[in-house]
Amino acid sequence: MPPRDANTLGSRIAAARKSRRLQQAELAGLACVSLDAIKSIEQGRREPSESVLESIAEALDLDPSRLREGRRSDSRIHAAIPALRAAVDAYDLPPDGPVRDLASLRRSTAELEAWRLASRYTSLTKVLPDRLTELNRAVQQFTGAECIEAARLLASVYRSADAVVYKYTYCDLSARTVELMRWAADRAEDPVLDATASYVRMETFFSSRQEEALATGLRMLQGAIDRAPSPGDQPTRAAVGALHMRAAVVAGRMRDEASARTHLAYAKELADSVQEGIYLGTAFGPSSFRVHEVAVAVELNDGPAVLAAAMEWKPPAELPAERRSHYYIDVARAQLWQNLCADALESLQVARRIAPQHVREHPQVRETLRSLVRSQRSEREALLALAEWAGAT
């Protein structure tokens, strides 16, 4: 069975203690607090005072914020968020400035999309504010077909912005960028792009673990499927297929196996009819379907099915880095459930080599690493190095 959520202060203290091979009594002695206090804190029955937390952190040779926050994010990303937020807020009031021709704007937008698919979040945040501002100016200044094309490009850049703010847990800003992506899709007069916006909007509901939020998100996806044009050309089939893939994962997380299988069946039918590729910013095709098929099995707690799939198939290098790395993160979770701890560690290391920024900020990576540290059955040196890097200890 999957491990329980380990993202609590007590579990982080326990993981850090075990990573240093300390018994609870030894930590209590080093921190000059009682053994009962350590037990209660680790079990979540007691919240430590600031002075006690500082003593525990000192004993573990950690900054107290590492225990309190449970992560160590890239400060460069956080430093860039205010400028990005300002650009988002001023979407309809961009300051005066130059606007390049459409060919240059296309190349610029394609570059951002490539960075997003490769999980290059630091590179993205450096340029996103200026790119959003320029494209908002373009939408206001251009007319006719040029305005529609600029709106399509703007929707893509809003999606790139959302990839950063969602990953780094700026939930309010994520919701705003998704709404502006939908606004730009409407300006582009493209119902298929609107379907893609609904695919991204599901992140808002994913961020909550509540059943009600997931159910709302699933209804939203179904509504987008119903509104989408008949899947005739490849981009339309890809957009609708991606919606079915995402709906299958949501249904799996809700433990609604019948619905998950139904959406998977629709997604497979569409995936078999297109070539693997990037359609309106989302990868879709036979390989992307297989990645999501594994994700659904993980959500349904079907570890043996995940391991069987992983034995016969690996995502090709042509798939976007984030999607490939997520596949190995899912495989690692299933391997952990089957007590294949060394294999789980290896899968996480593969994921890190593919998309390090994506892996470092992924909450399921930290949960898996904390469970591996507690198990003490994996290669200790490599495990502790990876756990330290990901902020899991």
**What is the per-residue pLDDT across 145-198, written as a single tens digit (0 to 9) for each?**
999 999 999 999 999 999 999 998 898 899 999 999 999 999 999 999 989 999
Mean pLDDT of 242-260: 97
Residues 22, 160: Cα–Cα separation, whole Å: 43
Domain boundaries, the chain: 9-69, 72-189, 210-301, 302-393
66's tokens: 């590492």
pLDDT at 8: 81
Residues 106, 109: Cα–Cα separation, whole Å: 5
Residues 21, 240: Cα–Cα separation, whole Å: 50
Number of residues assigned to the chain: 393
227's tokens: 């509104």
Which helix H or strand E contains 105, and what residues bound it? Answer: helix 102-117
pLDDT at 51: 84
Contacts 24+ apart (CB under 8 A), 20-27: 20/60, 20/61, 22/60, 27/56, 27/59, 27/60
Whether 104 shows a pLDDT value over 90: the answer reads yes
Evaluated on CA atoms 65, 69, 75, 80, the torsion sign reads negative
Whether 242 shows a pLDDT value over 50: the answer reads yes
Mean pLDDT of 267-277: 97
Q: State which CATH number among 2.20.28, 3.10.450, 1.25.40, 2.60.40 fits the domain covering 302-393.
A: 1.25.40
Whether 333 shows a pLDDT value over 90: the answer reads yes
pLDDT at 81: 94
- Tens of pLDDT along 188-233? 999 999 899 999 999 888 877 688 999 999 999 999 999 999 988 9
What rounded mean pLDDT belongs to the chain? 91
- Tens of pLDDT along 26-59? 899 888 899 999 999 999 899 898 889 988 988 8
pLDDT at 5: 44
pLDDT confidence band for 70 (50 / 70 / 90): low
pLDDT confidence band for 73 (50 / 70 / 90): low
Whether 328 shows a pLDDT value over 50: the answer reads yes
Question: If DSSP codes are grouped into helix, strand and coil, which group holds residue 5?
Answer: coil
What percent of the chain lies above the pLDDT cut of 70?
94
Residue 146 neighbours by CB under 8 Å, 6+ apart: 102, 138
pLDDT at 57: 85
Return the CATH number of the domain spanning residue range 9-69. 1.10.260.40
pLDDT at 216: 96
Q: The whole model's pTM is what? A: 0.80
Whether 240 shows a pLDDT value over 50: the answer reads yes
Mean pLDDT of 237-249: 97
Whether 62 shows a pLDDT value over 80: the answer reads no
